[in-house]
Every structure is written in structure tokens, then in C-alpha cells.
């Protein structure tokens, strides 16, 4: 059973820096924390054995345990504004491309207060149909199209509410009409009770605001699929006006009535969601949904978003996206000035459970040794929390043996909110584009085995690399440890002091900055010891 998980806010620190640790302790009242220098993480009795050195620091001690959860799922967020709080009549619309329409209620464009049940929510309902929900704190009225959406097809969906007549209208229109499929239509309903404005609540794309817990905003009803061109108006629009508002530029005739017109083809390389209306109600993405996705205007003539941006105006949201777990800090370490460069970890113990949170201590400038081990943090991130042992049958074919399951394999299989590697698929079957270290990474630890590891110790990536540090220790070499992150940020300057730089056992992933720095280092007389395989693959 895995009851301890955690992560640090940094992967590489220097003497004088402070590193913070976030811990989930589920089922124990307390846990013990120690800082250890990791030398070898191989538990195989026929191998080197586990080797670690306890470092005395003020961070060591016993801490109160608490459960910390990960709330996965990406969404777009527009903070509350007067233009939203003043809404009475309105029209909300978007182009959508759902990937799991039958999975349950999923938010599309919502301004909803989960606790008070106030506001509106344009959603995919629990039967897979476009629907609008309107609540006033006592009654929630729902109007559904009653026509299940097809997966991976574009639809125009919209809803309007007339505050004077209490009439709500709903539109569901497929871009492609199939002869044997009836998935489009229009419905209207006159309500007996008027909905209330969810004042103070954010406007959300691809989820619903569920309230707060311990001061943190929570969201539910996460949507799987693409959204393009969401719009919000302050009156009931005709169908022709809705169509006119789909243009990338807000028509003059609709400018005064447009609360927000979000163009996801703007600021693609950022988290910003640009509102091109006069109100400039810009928002942001949360948990890294996939941007630069083909939108409803894509005609297949261009395969690079930079060349025809308007055709790439969609964002693909997933219910299992995760960027930052945003856990509260449990303890921190101020790195002592005399702490030598190396591979370290905060080691946690509670009952029979042990957790490691690895990090690198790089040398202070001017105190470098002649040898550097380049900790391949980028490659660790690419494979972070991979589910190959449980999801990919081909692993056993490639390794010619059964996968040996460890507790962390079972935990990750049951807790998909801990996120995926770049070698996994999202819950809707789409590929994973992003992997973050701002979450517990259970396969980046000493003592663990991997389904991809070699015969014998079954080591791979991080734990296999501890054989290199153990080898350096056994031969009595003084060495530093620096990370891929350091090379990416500091370039050639961090490599220059070294006579030789050793790679890890699987240094597969390199950014342009990293590759250029290593190339320049070698060309200027530096010695590069390539200790791996499948390295520098993507360059």
C-alpha cells in the first residue's frame, strides 16, 4: 500500500537556496523526514545494494501527517467581472468536438455556483446531449436537446435566456449531417421560476465551479474534447446574429451586446485566453490543456498552426490533465553552504511505507570539481508516472518477460489523477502532450523497479542512474551533479568548468538550449562521456 507521496518545488538547488516539500500522508498521524544523499538505489541482493548517507539538517524531524489530494482536469478560467455580474438575459455559444460525450455531465461554458446552485451552465448532460442548466438556489431547470452527440464530430451548441419572458432556447447543430443519424435540433422552454446570477463566480470553459475547500477553488464536471470560439452576449441573439458573432472579429452591430468573444487562436504559446471583444475579459488555462489544436475551420490545407492560425483555434481539454498539484508546503530545507554537490532526497517513513523526493544540489559558482554527472531530468519528466506496466501489453513482448508489479504500479493505476507520461494516453484516448514535475513522480525514486528495466535488478532511468553515481563513489572520484534544467537555463556556462561531463543511462530528451550547450562544450574541448542508450533521440 502506498500511503506516502510527495514532491518538491525545485529539482535543482545550490547552497543557500531553499527547497520546499509537499507531502500526502494518508492513514498515518505523522511521518519522519530525513535528508539523505543517494549513492545507489538498487535493492538487488546480488547487486551493489541500497546505499545512502543521512545528512544532518534542521529539516529532519517528525511531522504531522495530512491527506492532500490532486484535482486533475484542465479548464479555462475567466475571473468574475461586472459585465458578468450584470447579466440578466444572455446568449452563450461555442463550437465543440466532444470525445467522451456519454461519460457523464461535462461543462462547456458555465457560470455556475456549485454550492448555491445558481447561474447557468451550457453542458453535455449525463445522456450525452447538449443541455443548458439554470439555477436560482432552489430550483435547477434543465433543457436538453435529447439528441446524443457523436464523438469526435464538430457541433455548434448555444443557449439563450430571455429574462422578460423567462424563455430558454437551446441549439445543437452538427457540422456534418449523416443520413442515418439524427443529432441536431432546436428546443425552447418557458420557465416558471427565473434563474439567479452566480455573482462572484468565475466563467469557466470545460468544467464547472464547485466552490472552495480550505481556501482553494474546486472544479468538477470536466469535459473531454475540443472547444473553439466560445461567446457570451448580454441579450437573446437570433440564429443569424449567433452566426455573425462566430467571426474572429466582433461585428460592430453586436459590439455593445458582446460580453466576451474568446479567440483561442491568439496567444497559443501561453496560458492566456484572449477576449477580442471591447471588454477584454481575458482568461487563462489551468492544468495545461492542449493548445494549437485544429478547430472547426481547419480544411486540411495546412499542417502547422503558425502558418494559418485561424484554423487552429481549438483547445483540447482533458479530465485527467495535471500541471501543478498545488499542495500545501509541509517542510523546507535551506541548503547548507557546506553541503557538497550530489544527488539527494528527502526520505519519508511512516509505518512500513517509505517515500523519496529526489533533488540535485549543484555546486556554488567557482567551487566546481573536474567531473560532472548530468542528471537527465528532462527524460525523467517524459516518462514520469508512466503506466506501461498496466496499460501497454507490448512491454512484455519487448522485454520478453512478465512485468513485475510493485505497489507504486498499482497505486498509479488506481490514481490516474497523479497524471501521465508522454507515453500514455488520456482517458479519452488522445495522446499526452505535457508532463510536469509539480506532482509526485513515483517512478523517479531509488529502490523501485521498472517494467522497462533490464534483467536482474529491473532498473531503468533514475534508479539505473544511481549505478553511475555508485561507480563514481567506488572509484573515489570527486564529482558534481547538475541537471538538465540547469543546462537549459544556464547553457554552456554551467558546463565550462568541467573537464568531463557524464550523461545518464537514458538521456533521451533535450531542448534546443541543452543540445546547443552540450555541442558547444564538446566542440570547445570538453569531454563528453556518453553512458547511455537511446540518447539525444529527438535532436
The model's confidence at residue 8, banded by pLDDT at 50, 70 and 90, is: very high
- DSSP classification of residue 535: T
Question: What are the domain boundaries of the chain?
Answer: 4-69+327-529, 75-317
**pLDDT tens-digit readout, 341-377:** 999 999 999 999 999 999 999 999 999 999 999 999 9
The model's confidence at residue 395, banded by pLDDT at 50, 70 and 90, is: confident
Beta strands in 434-532, from DSSP E residues, in sequence order: 480-483, 500-502, 527-529
**pLDDT tens-digit readout, 453-476:** 887 889 999 999 999 999 999 999
* Strands 480-483 vs 371-375: parallel, antiparallel or unpaired: parallel
* Strands 61-64 vs 90-98: parallel, antiparallel or unpaired: unpaired
Of 58, 36, 19, 9, nearest in space to 349 by CA: 36
| pLDDT of amino acid 417 | 98
Span 409-437, average pLDDT: 97
The model's confidence at residue 325, banded by pLDDT at 50, 70 and 90, is: very high
pLDDT of residue 77 exceeding 90, the answer is yes
Query: 234, 257 in Cβ contact below 8 A?
Result: yes
SS3 179: coil
pLDDT of residue 214 exceeding 90, the answer is no
| pLDDT of amino acid 397 | 86
pTM of the model: 0.96
pLDDT of residue 393 exceeding 90, the answer is no
Distance CA 23, CA 67 (A): 8
Span 422-442, average pLDDT: 98
Q: Which CATH number fits domain 4-69+327-529: 3.30.70.1280, 2.60.40.1930, 3.20.20.80, 3.40.50.300?
A: 2.60.40.1930
Please report, rounded to a whole number, the percentage of residues in the chain having pLDDT higher than 90. 93
**pLDDT tens-digit readout, 489-502:** 999 999 999 999 99
Span 432-458, average pLDDT: 93
| pLDDT of amino acid 538 | 83
pLDDT of residue 525 exceeding 90, the answer is yes
- For 79, 149, 186, 189, 299, the CA distances from 175, given in Å and listed in that order, are 31, 12, 15, 25, 13
The model's confidence at residue 307, banded by pLDDT at 50, 70 and 90, is: very high
**pLDDT tens-digit readout, 22-71:** 999 999 999 999 999 999 999 998 889 999 999 999 999 999 999 999 99
Pairwise pLDDT comparison (283 vs 396), residue with the higher score: 283
Span 441-457, average pLDDT: 91
Span 325-334, average pLDDT: 98
Query: 407, 2 in Cβ contact below 8 A?
Result: yes
Distance CA 367, CA 365 (A): 6
The model's confidence at residue 264, banded by pLDDT at 50, 70 and 90, is: very high
Distance CA 443, CA 294 (A): 33
Arithmetic mean of pLDDT over the chain: 97
Please tell me the CATH code under which domain 75-317 is placed: 2.60.120.200
SS3 431: strand
Phi then psi for residue 484, to 5 deg, are -55, -40
- What's the chain's length in residues? 539
pLDDT of residue 539 exceeding 80, the answer is no
**pLDDT tens-digit readout, 221-248:** 999 999 999 999 999 999 999 999 999 8
Query: 197, 90 in Cβ contact below 8 A?
Result: no
Pairwise pLDDT comparison (394 vs 289), residue with the higher score: 289
| pLDDT of amino acid 456 | 81
Amino acid at each position: 500500500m502506498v500511503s506516502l507521496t510527495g514532491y518538491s518545488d525545485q529539482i535543482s538547488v545550490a547552497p543557500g537556496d531553499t527547497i520546499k516539500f509537499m507531502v500526502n500522508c494518508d492513514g498515518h498521524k505523522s511521518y519522519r523526514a530525513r535528508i539523505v544523499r543517494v549513492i545507489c538505489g538498487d535493492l538487488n541482493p546480488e547487486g551493489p545494494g541500497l546505499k545512502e548517507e543521512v545528512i544532518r539538517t534542521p529539516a529532519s524531524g517528525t511531522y504531522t501527517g495530512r491527506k492532500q489530494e490532486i484535482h486533475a482536469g484542465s479548464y479555462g478560467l475567466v475571473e468574475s467581472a461586472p459585465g458578468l455580474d450584470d447579466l440578466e438575459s444572455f446568449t452563450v455559444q461555442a463550437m465543440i468536438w466532444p470525445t467522451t460525450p456519454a461519460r457523464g455531465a461535462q461543462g462547456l461554458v458555465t457560470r455556475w455556483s456549485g454550492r448555491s446552485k445558481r447561474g447557468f451552465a451550457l453542458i453535455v448532460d449525463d445522456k450525452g446531449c447538449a443541455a443548458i442548466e439554470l439555477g436560482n438556489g432552489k430550483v435547477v431547470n434543465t433543457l436538453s436537446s435529447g439528441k446524443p452527440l457523436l464523438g469526435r464530430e464538430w457541433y455548434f451548441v448555444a443557449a439563450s435566456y430571455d429574462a422578460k419572458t423567462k424563455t430558454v432556447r437551446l441549439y445543437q447543430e452538427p457540422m456534418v449531417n449523416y443520413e442515418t443519424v439524427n443529432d441536431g435540433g432546436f428546443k425552447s422552454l418557458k420557465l416558471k421560476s427565473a434563474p439567479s446570477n452566480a455573482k462572484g463566480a468565475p466563467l469557466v470553459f470545460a468544467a464547472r465551479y464547485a466552490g472552495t475547500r480550505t481556501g482553494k477553488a474546486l472544479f468538477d464536471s470536466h469535459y473531454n474534447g475540443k472547444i473553439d470560439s466560445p461567446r457570451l452576449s448580454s441579450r437573446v441573439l437570433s440564429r443569424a446574429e449567433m452566426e455573425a458573432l462566430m467571426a474572429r472579429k466582433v461585428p460592430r452591430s453586436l459590439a455593445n451586446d458582446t460580453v466576451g468573444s474568446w479567440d483561442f487562436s491568439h496567444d497559443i504559446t501561453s496560458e492566456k485566453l484572449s477576449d477580442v471583444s471591447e471588454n477584454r475579459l481575458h482568461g487563462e488555462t489551468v492544468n495545461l490543456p492542449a493548445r494549437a489544436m485544429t478547430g472547426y475551420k481547419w480544411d486540411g490545407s495546412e499542417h502547422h498552426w503558425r502558418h494559418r492560425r485561424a484554423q487552429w483555434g481549438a483547445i483540447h481539454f482533458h479530465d485527467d490533465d495535471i500541471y501543478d498539484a498545488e499542495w500545501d508546503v509541509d517542510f523546507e530545507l535551506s541548503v547548507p553552504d557546506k553541503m557538497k554537490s550530489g544527488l539527494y532526497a528527502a526520505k519519508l517513513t511512516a509505518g512500513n511505507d517509505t517515500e523519496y523526493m529526489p533533488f540535485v544540489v549543484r555546486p556554488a559558482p567557482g567551487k566546481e570539481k573536474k567531473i560532472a554527472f548530468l542528471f537527465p531530468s528532462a527524460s525523467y519528466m517524459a516518462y514520469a508516472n508512466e503506466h506501461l506496466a498496466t496499460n501497454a501489453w507490448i512491454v512484455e513482448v519487448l522485454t520478453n518477460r512478465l512485468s513485475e508489479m510493485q505497489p507504486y504500479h498499482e497505486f498509479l493505476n488506481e490514481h490516474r489523477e497523479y497524471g501521465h507520461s508522454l507515453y500514455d494516453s488520456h482517458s479519452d484516448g488522445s495522446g499526452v502532450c505535457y508532463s510536469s514535475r509539480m506532482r509526485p513522480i513515483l517512478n523517479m525514486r531509488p529502490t523501485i523497479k521498472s517494467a522497462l528495466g533490464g534483467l536482474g535488478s529491473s532498473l531503468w532511468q533514475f534508479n539505473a542512474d544511481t549505478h553511475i553515481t555508485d561507480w563514481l563513489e567506488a572509484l573515489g572520484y570527486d564529482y558534481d551533479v547538475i541537471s538538465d534544467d540547469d543546462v537549459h537555463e544556464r547553457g554552456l556556462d554551467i558546463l565550462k568548468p568541467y573537464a568531463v561531463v557524464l550523461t545518464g543511462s537514458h538521456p533521451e530528451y533535450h531542448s534546443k538550449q541543452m543540445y546547443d550547450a552540450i555541442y558547444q562544450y564538446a566542440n570547445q574541448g570538453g569531454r563528453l562521456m556518453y553512458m547511455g542508450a537511446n540518447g539525444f533521440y529527438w535532436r
